[in-house]
Chain A
Amino acid sequence: MIQIKQLKKVYRTDEVETVALNAINLMVEKGEFVAIMGPSGCGKTTLMNILGLLDEPDSGSFIFNGIEIAHFSESQRVQLRKQNIGFVFQNFNLIDELTVYENVELPLIYTGHKSSERKKMVTEVLERMQLMHRRSHYPQQLSGGQQQRVAVARAVVNKPALILADEPTGNLDSKNGNEVMQLLTELNEQGTTIVMVTHSEHDAKYSHRIIRMLDGQTIMENILV
């Protein structure tokens, strides 16, 4: 599904040049659950942003579902992203002004689903996440675990092929954290490819394969399954 070759990304300020990704190579097969680990500043988040088409590489190749997309335009990336990728963030990133229901509905609006379809899909995913009773609440009225469940619901409502999770349990206690990991595992079992950045060895164990990064490069792979 994802094939990255010699991908480079450099951040420049007036005085400093920081190499975030240094000719990195990475393959993710369809249906895989991959965890990316590494110390702060090793380039995990940059990699995630490029995988999520939020950022573009300076050089190298990025093939997504067989298509070279390294030099896609902004609008092409938007198209690809909204149909294929769901995001789960450490700090949930729900929109405070929208209710649980409306937050989950948002991706469907952008992909142009009809209102009746949206209602069906949102209800379905909220029921699956046991959030129906909370659908009219605003994010700040929910616990951290509940908020992350909403975020996961929002990430999967469009049935994306790929979910990118950036430290999804980072702001949660262990009980809520486990619940979220369970949820991701279930999604993976149902066929969704998952790439997750984490600092937690515990969480990483839910994955099939752990990629360890340092200084913008992959240094090691542990295959768990």
Chain B
Amino acid sequence: MIINYLKIAFRNLLRQKAFSFTNILGLSIGLACALFIVMWILDEFSYDRFFKNYDTIYSIKVTRTFDNTKNTDGAVAYPLTNAIAEKIPQVKYAVESTYPSSHVLAFNENKIKKTGYQVSANFFKLFTFPFLQGNAATAVTDPNSVVLTAATAQALFGNHSPLGKLVTLDNQQTYKVTGVIADIPHNSTLQFDFVIPYSFSPEDYQHVANDWVNAFNLGYIEVLPGTNIAALEKQINQLYKQNNPNDDAKTSYLLQPMSEWRLYSDFKDGKNVGGMIDYVHLFSIIAVVILLIACINFMNLSTAQAEKRAKEVGVRKTLGSDRASLVFQFFMESFLMVCIAFVIALLLVYLLLPSFNLMVDKQIKLPFANAKFWLYAVLMIVFTAIVAGIYPAVYLSSFNAATVLKGTFKASNKLLAPRKLLVIGQFAASFVLIVATIIVYQQIQHARHRDLGYNPNDLIIVSSSPELDNNYEVLKQQLLNTGVVDAVTRTTSPMTEIWNYSPAPDWPGRPQNNNFIVSAMAVGSDFAKTTGARMIAGRDFKEGSIADSTGIIYNKAAMDKMNLPDPIGKQVKFFGKTFTIIGVMDNIVMASPYKQVDPMIMLFYDNKRPGFVDIRLKNGVQPQNAIPKIAAIYKTLNPAYPFEYKFADDEFNKKFATEELIGKLTNIFASISIFICCIGLAGLVSFSIQKRFKEIAIRKILGASVWQIIELIAADFLKLVAIAIVIAIPITWWLMNGWLNNYTYHVTIQPMVFALVAIVMLLITLIIVGLNARNAATTNPATVIKSE
């Protein structure tokens, strides 16, 4: 029986080529999209699962309250993890690491800049990165050891064995290679090229080991199975309070399981508010919507075909087929179609995967060997076949044999209503996606073209080093002498990031309740000149002005909070020292381009911590001409370090990565959804015209023009699309307004966008109908009437 059904299904498929092509094309594209999204989601969920003790690892998060605002991050004080390991028996390991930072690793003449952490001794017991060489248990117990990833080892030592060799870090200290681990998989939250153990001088250690206030480490614990996490959090908080009873930041610790590191990274008011998981949900919905749109095509085209299949249904019924076996038969046809579409979709995915990976910055492979993937694939096929196939199957099998065979059968108009509803649904979904794409794009453009308060173009950022800092004046002079450089300054953090926050300096007459946090950065002379920042009052830092070492510059946002009249020359107190306000600068956007600029202070650069040298190119100088000249100077003054530079505008643009990715993906999916809608619509229009061929001929005989006939057919479809738009507008507005509210600095939704998309959508509908109807409208009516 099944063979008989499949046979008929195949022959139908071949006979009705246009119908099959339309259906399979729509379904393949829909399935390919869904496959891509499933692979992306599987990849997102695969993060960190390769660790053996995935289920029992937690990271320590800390919520601190300043200015009534709760901030949650991972920064913990150094003694915390040791204390936890010592005092809390349910904790198997407690380790910490520094934040990642870049360092120059050297072996003989081979120098490379790599990112690494300092870690505690049990780091590799908790994080089971596979060791290719060396012993995980002892690799980071000696303070002078270093563990490299395979790629780093290869870059430093080529094919020679790295174990036991000495690597110089930042041209200062040497470390012995004690282990080589496999390259870190892309789906690891922790990403690094090397690790070294923490090492302190005895006096530094004395200080650090008892410093419960300053927090500059990340903490991780592994608990024994069955540990009560809420109780453990309480214990950790108690432990902290015992050691830092005078905490004024109302610090509170919480534990985040490893399974949430990737997808739930955002905190608000001390509570987890999601993160990447929002996009996982968003794209899951988009996958289902696109698949549904493709399924709706299938339903509509299959049921529109009813009259063609009616006779077969009648005959089969008279020959003794019951309803159930007919339903099954039609379902088998859908199933076959979906299977073919799935094979094509797999092929599409295979071909497009490299581009997809490039776009989403992942290394996803088609997981043919992964049973879970095939399980999802089968589920997807069954889901699609059921959604697409059941309704046509039930409908087609419902025909009354007697009427069908009498030859008086006309597909009932009752069906038009659900079919219309489905078309409305399809177009409404596409409308939402298209408008969403435009609004995401507008939002990115809005933030990108925001006045940053400085000029990031042609501003080169170079990392500094202790040597370079000592030779800074020489460097600056030589750079200015090249003729391609207009101004030079230096900063403790790059122009596109804020690294330091602290309570605002105290000023005379400060009201008791006026506490706020400022971001802080030390900058060299000519800061405003080099970056293009605007001074509102006072002046920039000046070279050689000894007084400037106690000068302070505020930004406008800070001044607004302080309400200090005539600030220039006023004195403020900061960490026990007195500073004189020498300038007020307009706000500059260094952190999120979507947020308001925080209050900020700038102090004069001292040589204690090497930061960054910022170089402003002269107007009209081509960067490719300037870079070699800058590099040459850099190499003579800073020979131990490879010359690496960044452009401020490139760095700024990186802040849009997530939104741009979301924008690109929604753009692609919106285009695909409207495309699938259009092929479905084209199919429906052609069926509708076939049915009305005689009517069209008679109208033409009675004098209708081609345009009147196109109008006649288009009116029905335009009405549907118009209804879809009306339904979609409030939905889109609600969704996108919610999304935009995530950003303080955002566009407002303009009605014009809705109007434009609506017009384009109606035009597309008109074109599709026009192309299809032209043929019918221009056929000689006499031949039609005769053949009837």
Contact = CB atoms under 8 A, between A and B. Distances in A.
Interface in A75-102: 75, 78, 81-83, 87, 89, 91, 93-98, 102
B297 to A, nearest CB: 22
Interface of B: 1, 4, 7-8, 11-12, 15, 311-312, 314-323, 325, 400-402, 405-407
Nearest to A52: B318
A136 to B, nearest CB: 13
A3 interface: no
B700 to A, nearest CB: 30
A93 B321 contact: no
A10 interface: no
A132 to B, nearest CB: 20
A107 interface: yes
A81 B323 CA distance: 14
Given A55-B402, A97-B312, A107 B11 contact: no
Contacts, number: 66
Contacts of B314: 93
Nearest to B321: A110
A152 B406 CA distance: 18
Contact of A89 (B8, B15, B316, B405): B405
Given A74-B322, A111-B320, A95 B315 contact: yes
A199 to B, nearest CB: 15
Contacts of B15: 97
Contact of B321 (A78, A96, A102): A78
B322 A93 contact: no
Contacts of B1: 109
Contact of B4 (A49, A89, A109): A109
A9 to B, nearest CB: 11
Contacts of B407: 91
Nearest to A151: B315
A75 B8 contact: no
A27 interface: no
A8 interface: no
A110 B319 contact: yes
A75 B312 CA distance: 19
A221 B7 CA distance: 47
A78 B322 contact: yes
Interface of A: 45, 49, 52, 54-55, 74-75, 78, 81-83, 87, 89, 91, 93-98, 102, 106-107, 109-111, 154
Contacts of B320: 78, 81-83, 107, 110-111
28 contacts: A45-B406, A54-B317, A54-B318, A54-B400, A54-B405, A55-B402, A74-B323, A78-B321, A81-B320, A82-B319, A82-B320, A87-B318, A89-B405, A91-B407, A93-B311, A94-B315, A95-B8, A95-B312, A95-B316, A96-B312, A97-B12, A98-B8, A102-B4, A102-B7, A110-B319, A110-B320, A111-B320, A154-B319
- Between B7, B311, B322, the greatest number of chain A beta carbons within 10 A of the residue's beta carbon is seen for B322
A159 B314 CA distance: 21
Contacts of A96: 312
A75 to B, nearest CB: 6
A154 B314 CA distance: 15
Nearest to B16: A97
Nearest to A82: B320
Contacts of A93: 311, 314-315, 318, 405
B402 A54 contact: yes
A45 B403 CA distance: 10
A110 B315 CA distance: 12
A106 B402 contact: no
Contacts of A89: 405
Closest 10 CB pairs of A and B: A82-B320, A110-B320, A49-B402, A54-B402, A97-B11, A78-B322, A107-B319, A54-B401, A55-B402, A87-B318
B398 to A, nearest CB: 11
Contacts of B400: 54-55
Contacts of A52: 318
Contacts of A97: 8, 11-12, 15, 312
A97 B318 CA distance: 17
Contacts of A91: 407
A106 B316 contact: yes
A83 B322 CA distance: 13
Nearest to A157: B319
A65 B384 CA distance: 46
Contacts of B11: 97-98
A222 B4 CA distance: 45
B381 to A, nearest CB: 24
A97 to B, nearest CB: 4
A74 to B, nearest CB: 7
A154 B320 CA distance: 12
A96 B312 CA distance: 8
Given A54-B402, A78-B322, 8 more contacts: A75-B322, A81-B318, A95-B312, A97-B15, A102-B7, A106-B4, A107-B319, A110-B325
Contacts of B312: 95-97
A54 B311 CA distance: 14
A111 B1 CA distance: 11
A32 B319 CA distance: 22
Nearest to A48: B402
A52 B402 CA distance: 9
B50 to A, nearest CB: 53
B394 to A, nearest CB: 14
Contacts of A94: 315
Contacts of A45: 402, 406
A102 B7 CA distance: 10
Contacts of B318: 52, 54, 81, 87, 93
A221 B322 CA distance: 36
B686 to A, nearest CB: 20
A48 B407 CA distance: 15
Nearest to A94: B315
Contacts of A83: 320
A154 B323 CA distance: 20
Contacts of A107: 319-320
B263 to A, nearest CB: 50
Contacts of B321: 78, 82, 110
A87 B402 CA distance: 12
Nearest to B401: A54
A49 B402 CA distance: 6
B637 to A, nearest CB: 83
A81 B311 CA distance: 18
A83 B400 CA distance: 20
A184 to B, nearest CB: 17
Nearest to B408: A45
Contacts of B4: 102, 106, 109
Nearest to A105: B4
A110 B400 CA distance: 18
Nearest to B311: A93
A100 to B, nearest CB: 14
A83 B319 CA distance: 9
A87 B316 CA distance: 11
Contacts of B401: 54
A102 B311 CA distance: 16
A24 to B, nearest CB: 17
A97 B8 CA distance: 6
Contacts of B402: 45, 49, 54-55
A97 B6 CA distance: 11
Contacts of A102: 4, 7
A89 to B, nearest CB: 6
Contacts of B323: 74
Nearest to A112: B1
Contacts of B317: 54, 78
B13 to A, nearest CB: 10
Nearest to A90: B407
A18 to B, nearest CB: 13
Nearest to B324: A75
Contacts of B325: 110
Nearest to B314: A93
Nearest to A110: B320
